[in-house]
Structure 1
């Protein structure tokens, strides 16, 4: 049972009527937490202090997690407060030994997920993202991505861990992408594509696509055959496993898969490889029937099929013909 935070110390979160912004600092100094109303900032600071106490940490984690979306500057408070990041990492490291055992209960998993969600908050904020990278914090998350267990308590950890990486790549920062590439994130994403739920597969594929959109990421995946075929096999397997009538979540996954393939087709080496390993379901009418209401993804699919059909002579030539015409021709 989670320890209850003493009301005299924390009280309750300020109501929405207090949700106003403090005036920007005009003194020229760095106002680290200037975007949070004083009442709310005090509430958050008290929760952060509670993280240092073993008896109040679990509930403080939960309450801070609930505050993530409402307080965009919570990341600054978390990063710049004493011992907070260390405490969050300790929570995550504490579940390492449970990953390969049946002892990872729902409550233990949820507690670690709350800590991961707070790290995601730090990874998302533009003022703390690079600090997060320079401290090499993503490396502490990698062991959670290597998990092969598919039970819900394990899947929850995998999904929120991928969410942290997704938050890092969302802005497309080249330095962030370089760090992740150098530390083998593609391999971890491929593993999640193979063992994760539809949601985990979707986030992992999204991360790979964001990396491929950087020239360095595309080069990394296409320079050596084993890298290309490992990624290509994982993408193809996901396409093959899609049902005839996919759910909305599965359609979202398909869109990310097509985006990855289309980007790969812009590499001459990968384009040659795709002639042999592009799934049949993406070459016939199956995919276009599934995506009939998503013109953006259909356009990507048309570009993909066009690139593969002509080889690497051109990757930007407009079509002038529909996908169905190309398939028949």
Structure 2
């Protein structure tokens, strides 16, 4: 019985994928597939290899570009395109389709969404869902992903969101930057020129100042890890000795970190790294 049920569910998925090709019922198919994407582990393969599906998803994305400037995106349109983005996230997340997704340069279609600044809910949801697709790419520590992202403007886009986005968007954006930094190529790239290092360090400094007020634990954890990773580069370490924000040195976050052993260790290691060679 269980097997039969699973088969009928699978047939339902295939039927919905076919419905994506019909503009009259596509919106329903996008919603249902996006809601059930966790249930069917091979959905990414079916989406990628089904005739016409990827062009349809890209068409959904490109069709709302005119609504980005001036910002006229409604909640219903935002929800629809976010359902299409959720399916792309499913493809970005799958080991067998991730490389194909990158080589087709599909992440670039999302950058106009990351470049928006409107604070309205439809735009915030659009940015967050787009960041989720990039987050799915970076979470598997794949050098091909890092190399691809470094060849695009993802770092400046993430830095702007880290500075002025919602707390949730900031968290995903800094997660992406942290993952790029954890790759040796990414760390080298960011520390290669003073301008790149300064751009990242300035935004991290701004975030620390904001966190003195906000005390957002998840963000503080990511910011600390970014600083720790930067301190592992000799040139960046020298610069951080001069420009590490005072609240990281003076115990400002002692209370908020009291139960977070891992982040306390990161901060302690950061301060040790910066104190070496100063005496």
TM above 0.5, yes or no, is: yes
Higher helix share: 2
Given the alignment of the two structures, is residue 40 of structure 1 paired with residue 42 of structure 2, yes or no? Answer: no
For residues 133 and 87 of structure 1, what CA distance do their matches in structure 2 show? 18
Give the deviation of 1:243 after TM superposition. Answer: 4.6
Q: Which has the higher contact order (CA 8 A, sep 6+)?
A: 2
User: Could you say if the C-alpha distance between residues 168 and 297 of structure 1 is closer, same or farther in structure 2, counting changes exceeding 3 Å?
Assistant: same
For residues 150 and 132 of structure 1, what CA distance do their matches in structure 2 show? 29
1:118 counterpart residue number: 87
For residues 175 and 107 of structure 1, what CA distance do their matches in structure 2 show? 35
For residues 228 and 121 of structure 1, what CA distance do their matches in structure 2 show? 32
How many residues align? The count is: 279
Given the alignment of the two structures, is residue 191 of structure 1 paired with residue 157 of structure 2, yes or no? Answer: no
Give a deviation string over 1:57-108, Cα, whole Å, max 9, x none: 1111000000111112111111110111111111111121111224200000
Determine if contact 1:150/1:195 at 8 Å carries over to the other structure.
Answer: no
Given the alignment of the two structures, is residue 158 of structure 1 paired with residue 127 of structure 2, yes or no? Answer: yes
Of residues 65, 71, 91, the one that matches 2:60 is 91
The TM-score, its normalising length taken from structure 2, stands at 0.96
1:52 counterpart residue number: 21
Give the deviation of 1:278 after TM superposition. Answer: 1.2
Of residues 196, 208, 211, the one that matches 1:227 is 196
Determine if contact 1:124/1:168 at 8 Å carries over to the other structure.
Answer: yes
96-105 or 290-299: bigger deviation: 96-105
Pairing 1:170-319 to 2, within 5 Å after superposition: 170-244=139-213, 246=215, 250-311=216-277
User: Could you say if the C-alpha distance between residues 274 and 243 of structure 1 is closer, same or farther in structure 2, counting changes exceeding 3 Å?
Assistant: closer
For residues 71 and 101 of structure 2, what CA distance do their matches in structure 1 show? 31
1:106 counterpart residue number: 75
The TM-score, its normalising length taken from structure 1, stands at 0.81
For residues 71 and 135 of structure 2, what CA distance do their matches in structure 1 show? 28
Give the deviation of 1:195 after TM superposition. Answer: 2.7
Unaligned stretches of 5+ residues in structure 1: 1-16, 23-35, 314-328
199-208 or 188-197: bigger deviation: 188-197
**Structure 1 runs of 4+ off > 2 angstroms?**
243-246
1:81 counterpart residue number: 50
For residues 98 and 308 of structure 1, what CA distance do their matches in structure 2 show? 47
For residues 61 and 229 of structure 2, what CA distance do their matches in structure 1 show? 34
Give the deviation of 1:245 after TM superposition. Answer: 5.7
For residues 222 and 287 of structure 1, what CA distance do their matches in structure 2 show? 27
Give a deviation string over 1:229-264, Cα, whole Å, max 9, x none: 101111111111125463xxx210110111100000
Unaligned stretches of 5+ residues in structure 2: none
For residues 242 and 66 of structure 2, what CA distance do their matches in structure 1 show? 42
Give the deviation of 1:306 after TM superposition. Answer: 1.1
Determine if contact 1:100/1:149 at 8 Å carries over to the other structure.
Answer: no
SS in 2 for 1:286: coil
For residues 154 and 199 of structure 2, what CA distance do their matches in structure 1 show? 13
User: Could you say if the C-alpha distance between residues 181 and 253 of structure 1 is closer, same or farther in structure 2, counting changes exceeding 3 Å?
Assistant: same
Determine if contact 1:283/1:305 at 8 Å carries over to the other structure.
Answer: yes
